[in-house]
Amino acid sequence: MSVASIILAAGQGTRMRSKLPKVLHPLLGKPLVWHALRAVKPLVDSPPVLVVGYGAEAVKEAVGDGVTYALQAEQLGTGHAVAAAKSQVNPQTDIILVTFADMPLLRQETLQKLIVLHQSSESPVTMTSFIGDEARGFGRVVRNEHGHVIAIVEQADATPEQLAIREYNVSAYCFDADWLWDALERIPISPKGEYYLTDVVGLAVQSGYAVESMVLEDPTDGIGLNNRVHLAQAEKVLRQRINEKWMLAGVTLVSPETTVIEADVVLGQDTVILPNTFLRGKTIIGEDCEIGPDTTLINTKVGDKVKIIASYLEFAQVADNVTIGPYSHLRKNAILGEGVHIGNFSEVKDSTLGPGSKMGHFSYIGNAKIGQDVNIGAGTITCNYDGKKKNPTEIGDHVFIGSDTMLVAPVKIGDRSITGAGAVVTRDVPPDTLVVGVPAKEKRKMEKSD
Ligand code: UD1
Ligand code: CA
């Protein structure tokens, strides 16, 4: 049986009180709609149909390819939104999975179970619910004295007795496709002037079907977002899920409450993450590392046995046995070779430091290629920007850059050369040469050490 998916993302999300469409609000670094798509994609035979409306262009730009878009030009309710997707759904589809983009904690496994339950059911609709303590504005699942579902009643339309019901509608449904298209045309208009998707449950019951509701084992799957308080609740749960996954996989989180690990991050065995650490984007960390406290890594690749204290790394690459910090800033394309040390208040951008090179204190290195076993003295700066363009600096192997050297790029320093403290290097320095002064001049050739 072929399964298609429709995800509703056309609403404004008035209760968020935001200029941004609700489904684009970030949850652990990714828009809500990204999470909804991630759960559904592996379960369907064709790209999910995403119904967009409010802020459609912004939503499309954020989501990109890999989905089929349907436009709901006017937001007349969730039933109306599903109907707007019809022309984009393959007519051969047997089963349609409908989910909402503002339910980002629903897991793939949960939706898989729903599909299986639906396939074993006689009813053309199968729904999902959870028993919870907080309504969050959700519809109530009304059952008869035999425990059979008879309707979903929206919070705004519920009687006081119905409001007391603790079983809530999740908004994840499986439908027989043909039955769904027909039922959508029969939904009555609500007192608020909307077409509620929830009303199709009542229609199925009226036609004599026994509608089943899959009650979530873990009610956190049912945390949906209608305002920013719910957003924070969802963020907490998602962080906890990811943190627990890594702890069970052999990573120590000294303080999980203050550790933020985004969904795409990968961590190696026996790595220890210290408090207040944020691992974002496609960050990959090897084994036996110690990261933090107070550290942020964004889209950064780190080898094994690396130690990073109180630092900020973005789009950087760090080889094995490197030590960083406290207070280092690695920016895009900062590439540190094996065993490199960079320390207090050092910034590196678009530069490579070869294996074993050290830069302990107060330096800026930009657009530079530095060889191996180079010592960069305190306060060294590559003056790479001339007001118009960025110029390169090249430093060979075994070079000793004296404290407070200014390397006025473009400039090259040959292997084994030395710059004196306070030198301002404006011209290339050949290998085995000591230069000193402002501007730096050759003082003598170095003796061969052998
Ligand atoms: C809906 C359900 C409610 C359920 C709750 C939990 C209905 C009528 N109510 O209420 O039973 O407990 O979700 O998830 O279905 N949307 C559109 N077009 C529209 C309206 C909404 O695409 O015209 C989209 C929104 O972008 C959102 C989703 O549908 O992703 C839900 O809309 P929302 O207004 O939040 O519905 P709830 O009030 O939460
Ligand atoms: Ca909602």
Q: What is the value of pTM for the model shown?
A: 0.93
Residue range 306-314: mean pLDDT, rounded: 98
Which residue puts its alpha carbon closest to atom 20 of ligand 1?
Answer: 77
How close is the Cα of 100 to the center of ligand 1, in Å?
7
How close is the Cα of 256 to the center of ligand 1, in Å?
33
> Does the CB atom of residue 154 touch ligand 1 within 6 A?
yes
Digit-coded pLDDT (tens) for 145-188: 999 999 999 999 999 999 999 999 999 999 999 999 999 999 99
Residue range 281-289: mean pLDDT, rounded: 98
Strand partners, 301: 284, 317
Confidence of residue 191 (pLDDT cuts 50, 70, 90): confident
User: Which ligand is closest to the CA of 54, given by its number?
Assistant: 1
Strand partners, 369: 352, 394
For the cut 70, the answer to whether the pLDDT of residue 280 exceeds it is yes
Digit-coded pLDDT (tens) for 54-79: 999 999 999 999 999 999 999 999 99
Tokens 């503002």 correspond to: 102
Percent of the chain with pLDDT strictly greater than 90: 98
Q: Please, which residues have CB within 8 angstroms of residue 339's CB and are 6 or more apart in sequence?
A: 319, 320, 321, 322, 355, 356
Digit-coded pLDDT (tens) for 317-331: 999 999 999 999 999
> Does the CB atom of residue 167 touch ligand 1 within 6 A?
no
**With the C-alpha atoms ordered 433, 437, 438, 441, is the resulting torsion angle positive or negative?**
negative
Digit-coded pLDDT (tens) for 351-381: 999 999 999 999 999 999 999 999 999 999 9
How close is the Cα of 224 to the center of ligand 2, in Å?
6
Distance CA 82, CA 177 (A): 11
**Chain-wide mean pLDDT for the chain?**
97
Confidence of residue 261 (pLDDT cuts 50, 70, 90): very high
User: Which ligand is closest to the CA of 22, given by its number?
Assistant: 1
**Type of residue numbered 114:** L
What's residue 319's pLDDT? 98
